[in-house]
């Protein structure tokens, strides 16, 4: 029993430490959380994408910082897509929950591409950034095509 209790406590502590297992008081909070994380991610990604497209003057330092923030933010939204968070002020399609394995694959793909973008941005090589922006934008788009209404 002692071991079981210790295991349970350890598992509980782990759950609290890992954002992917975050708990929310209300579904509305989870929805706001994931939208907030995606918004901050998008703002930082689109700054780098704007530089890659020549719409914003290239600043290697800003690109590296923005890509690092976008990469970190890409880890967070998924905890907000828990069970019961499909209804409310959301554009998430029901398929997020009915095709969870596929959705999770897209989420992993995005995080992987964001990681590569952060590495490219840190290198300061605009060509590498351009190619990573393309791949990352593709990951954004494929998930939106399948899982976002509108
Ligand atoms: C963005 C943004 C997206 C992606 C996507 C890339 O900046 O808001 O959803 O890039 O448009 O295809």
Q: How far is the CA of 135 from the centre of ligand 1 (A)?
A: 11
Q: Is 11 helix (H, G, I), strand (E, B) or coil?
A: helix
The mean pLDDT value of the chain amounts to 90
Which is higher by pLDDT, 10 or 59?
A: 59
Q: Is 148 helix (H, G, I), strand (E, B) or coil?
A: strand
Average pLDDT of the segment spanning 42-51: 98
Ligand 1 cavity residues, CB under 6 Å: 42, 45-46, 49, 137, 140-141, 144
Q: Does residue 15 surpass a pLDDT of 50?
A: no
Tell me the pLDDT band of 121, cut-offs 50, 70 and 90.
Answer: very high
Q: How far is the CA of 46 from the centre of ligand 1 (A)?
A: 7
Which is higher by pLDDT, 2 or 54?
A: 54
pTM: 0.86
The pLDDT of residue 21: 59
67-101: buried (b, 16+ CB within 10 Å) or exposed (e) per residue?
Answer: bbbbbbbbbbbbbbbbeebbeeebebbeebbeeee
* CA gap 28, 33 in Å, rounded: 8
The enclosing H or E element of 133 equals helix 126-147
**What structural domains and CATH numbers belong to the chain?**
23-147 (1.20.120.10)
């Amino acid at each position: 029993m002692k071991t079981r209790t210790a295991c349970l406590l350890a598992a509980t502590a782990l759950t609290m430490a890992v954002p992917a297992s975050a708990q929310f008081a209300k579904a509305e909070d989870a929805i706001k959380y994931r939208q907030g994380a995606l918004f901050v991610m998008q703002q930082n990604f689109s700054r780098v994408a704007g530089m890659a497209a020549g719409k914003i003057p290239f600043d290697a330092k800003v690109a590296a910082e923005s890509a690092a923030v976008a990469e970190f933010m890409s880890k967070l939204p998924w905890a907000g897509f828990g069970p019961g968070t499909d209804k409310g002020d959301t554009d998430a399609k029901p398929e997020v929950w009915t095709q969870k394995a596929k959705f999770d694959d897209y989420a992993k793909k995005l995080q992987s591409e964001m990681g590569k973008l952060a590495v490219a941005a840190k290198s300061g090589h605009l060509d590498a950034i351009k190619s990573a922006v393309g791949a990352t934008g593709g990951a954004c788009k494929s998930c939106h095509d399948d899982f976002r209404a509108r």
